Amino acid sequence: MVLGADAVVFMGTPLVGGHWAVTQSLPLSLCDVALVVAAVACWWPQLHLAVELSYFWGLAGTLQAVITPDLTAGFPRLEFFEFVVGHLGIVIAALYLVVGLRLRPRPRSVVRVFAITVGYAAFVGLFDWLTGANYMFLAAAPRSASLLSVLGPWPWYIASAAGIALVLLVVLDAPFHRRPGRP
């Protein structure tokens, strides 16, 4: 419920505040989608794809955003709490689903999640190009320091980030798939 409420507040705040803009107010960042997916996965854990996306996006992506946030509002503003609650909520939900409920990623989940992520990034990149937006930092680097800052200039950091994402997905998946004959 907390994740769903955070998503509603996040999407409603720009409307209520009168500063809604197509280039910055839509829930198109991967963490925005992960917030909704994690809420769905917590309500319906039998939806394996939602659980897998929550786990991989939460620990491979959202956790990085928690460590190096790109915040425009500081404490105690509402936007600060939306960011913290939403991002930490995604990470906690991912751990709850996979560790607490013991819902393991299925075989080929890395391929599935990576393909969905690349497809979604392509969609958002096209949207960014058409509107002048910068969702998912596909059009320009974040203003504050982040992992992207050390991956090269735009657009090369996108390819570097995709490679790192794939490695992180494989690492996060490894504990769930033992090789035959190994303890």
- Closest listed residue to residue 3, CA positions, set 50, 46, 71: 50
Domains of the chain, by residue range, sit at 2-176
Tokens matching residue 25: 């107010």
Q: What are phi and psi of 77, to 5 degrees?
A: -70, 155
Asked whether the predicted pLDDT for residue 111 surpasses 80, the reply is yes
b/e burial code for range 17-31 (CB count within 10 A of at least 16 → b) = eeeeeeeebbebbbb
Asked whether the predicted pLDDT for residue 177 surpasses 70, the reply is yes
Amino acid letter at 124? Answer: V
**Predicted confidence band of residue 132 (pLDDT cuts 50, 70, 90):** very high
More reliable by pLDDT, 168 or 1: 168
CA of 130: how far to CAs of 69, 83, 110, 121, in Å? Answer: 26, 26, 30, 14
Q: What is the pLDDT of residue 183?
A: 55
DSSP state of 142: -
Give pLDDT tens digits for 60-70: 998 888 887 77
Asked whether the predicted pLDDT for residue 90 surpasses 90, the reply is yes
Alpha-carbon distance 94 to 97, whole Å?
5
Give pLDDT tens digits for 18-52: 889 999 999 999 999 999 999 999 999 999 999 99
pTM: 0.89
Tokens matching residue 149: 């800052």
Q: What is the pLDDT of residue 138?
A: 96
Alpha-carbon distance 89 to 176, whole Å?
23
